[in-house]
Structure 1
Amino acid sequence: MNPAFGAPGTLETSGTPGTLGNLGTLGNSGTPSTQSSQASLAGLGRGQVHLHHISLDQFQDPSQQAGTALVEQTNSLNAHELQRSAGFLHALDRQHFITARWSLRALLGGYLNLAPAEVPLTVTPMGKPTLSPPHHDLHFNLSHTGGLALLAATLGRSLGIDLETVVPLPEVLGVAARVCTDRELTELRSVSAQMRTAVFYRLWTRREAALKALGTGLGGPPEQVEVDGGPARSAWLRALGGSPESAASALATDLDVSPGLQAALVVCDGATLQLRLFSFVGTGPRQGHGPESDHSSAEQKKPEAADRLSTTR
């Protein structure tokens, strides 16, 4: 059963501002069950993955309250995050980045009982965001595009998530040749020109999620990950870290979000995990205890233009 937010092709929301609404639980049967948001925070177990949908367009209202909230979000970020935010040319992109990073901090703070500014974010030598000891057992991953972000969190297992806006790629074969394995490229060439963009985005999001789970980013050999570009929502991971066995033991699934978006999730050694879905709408930092609460692996540029594919963000 494919994990989905509500009905296929829709994004279901719940909860009130400043809280995390519970969208239920999807186990192997695909049957949702519901629990309170607070119970879900305290109950992140080793058999679960929490998946959070985050609206990044909360603060586009020009009201004073919205402006104040964005300032408070900005004040929760560290020097590295502020430096990155200053690199955005467009104000909306900068606001989305700030809201995404604050939401990451707020949600992690909910798990750790810390204020957003107190969450000890750091990065690995490969640039993968992680938590400093003693909190490093909480793994998280964040991906965002436009006004939407997805955050996945679990205990004791590395994971990766990717979310992309599907846009036409006239040079799709040229782009794919830079990032795909020979087998994936052959698959892409075998489909009709009308289908190539859709198949490429399935390949790309699945590869990116797997690479983020590995923590290696795009710098390693393409063969360390191999995926299938077909329409099946799961069972598409062929190799993880170059190993078919690791691929077979991983949770690998597409996520239905909304039309025009493509998303995928990979959790190492997570084939038996239960996926729980939430919606988060924050209105500003909460001291001491974040909203009912990212493991951001290396946050990488999106394949919306060929010259952005090989750079991490």
Structure 2
Amino acid sequence: MHPLNIHKNEVHLWTITPQKIQDTPQLMALLSNDEQQKVKRYRLEKPQHTALLTRAFIRLILSQYEARSPAQWDFSISPLGKPEVTNSTLPIRFNLSHNNDLIICAINLENDIGCDIENLQRKISVQGIAQRYFSEHEHQQLCALPKNQQNAFFFKLWTLKEAFVKATGLGIAQGLATFSFYLTEKTANVTEINLTFSPQCTEKNTQQWQSYLFYPDNTHCIALCVKSPVSNAKALNIQLFDETKSLALFKTV
């Protein structure tokens, strides 16, 4: 098999539905001993299943880019708490996210990257969370919308904010109100995204950041945030792989 090519201005986005994959001893065998122990700590079947598939998924994906078996990948945790692959010949960076319905993995070269996924129809107290975690400008955007549009808009902002703090590696310690996303809906599935930083934000140059929203189906929203080492970098080429490609990976185990 020829390795899958990826270039510096590209992001490859993989998705898989965990319910379509069965747990097998072969999948567990792909994981390191430490990873296996972490998976087994989950007492409930569904979280354990997701934990197993997430760890196996990244290993299977990485082996599409280099001639290395899935079990041979080594990982470490960066000083900021981000998982990183340590034995690749490529400067691969990745990020994972999941909910009850989908697992996603974003792959690129060199750039800091974060991704997140949410169900747009999930019912929560959006106003309470927005008041606590959103910037004033984001909260104003939310409140200006009719109530029947606020839930979906909240999750678009939330996924972007989650993807951003995952890309920085700081998590919520970044301070979720220290940066703001401004969303302008161009069409049903096209959103213009602008990012600003407050003086308290650890990031200073918005021109290094590119942010994207994707809608893999009628109920889910995927956010992607990527930091380039230079300002005003060329727009990224985002390649979304059909789930059939992800399912094919698991059939090789």
**Aligning the two structures, in what range does the TM-score lie when normalised by the shorter sequence?**
0.7 to 0.9
> 1:197 corresponds to which residue?
151
> 1:100 corresponds to which residue?
54
The structure in which a higher percent of residues are strand is: 2
Q: Tell me the TM-score normalized by structure 1.
A: 0.68
1:89 to 1:190, Cα distance in 2 relative to 1, 3 A: farther
Task: Give per-residue Cα distances to partners, 1:162-200, cap 9 Å, x unaligned.
Answer: 111234434211112332112212222222222221111
Q: What amino acid maps onto 1:274 in structure 2? A: N
The alignment partner of 1:236 has SS state of strand
Report % sequence identity. Answer: 22
1:1-313 correspondence to structure 2 within 5 Å: 38=2, 41=4, 43-60=5-22, 70-132=24-86, 135=89, 137-232=91-186, 233-239=190-196, 242=201, 246-269=205-228, 271-279=234-242, 280-281=246-247, 282-283=249-250
Deviation at residue 135 of structure 1 after TM alignment: 4.8
Task: Give per-residue Cα distances to partners, 1:204-253, cap 9 Å, x unaligned.
Answer: 01111111111111122224432124434444131369489733343211
Q: What amino acid maps onto 1:277 in structure 2? A: L
Contact 2:184 2:192 (C-alpha < 8 Å) held by counterparts: no
Q: Tell me the TM-score normalized by structure 2.
A: 0.82
Q: Which has the higher contact order (CA 8 A, sep 6+)?
A: 1
Task: Give per-residue Cα distances to partners, 1:143-179, cap 9 Å, x unaligned.
Answer: 1222422211111111111111234434211112332
Stretches of structure 2 lacking an aligned partner (at least 5 in a row): none
Q: What amino acid maps onto 1:251 in structure 2? A: Q
Deviation at residue 79 of structure 1 after TM alignment: 3.9
160-169 or 242-251, which moves further after superposition?
242-251
Distance across 1 between alignment mates of 2:88 and 2:61: 17
Task: Give per-residue Cα distances to partners, 1:226-284, cap 9 Å, x unaligned.
Answer: 21244344441313694897333432111121111111111112542212222311335
1:59 to 1:244, Cα distance in 2 relative to 1, 3 A: closer
Contact 2:184 2:191 (C-alpha < 8 Å) held by counterparts: no
Contact 2:183 2:192 (C-alpha < 8 Å) held by counterparts: no
The alignment partner of 1:153 has SS state of strand
Stretches of structure 1 lacking an aligned partner (at least 5 in a row): 1-36, 61-66, 287-313
Task: Give the CA RMSD over aligned residues.
Answer: 2.7
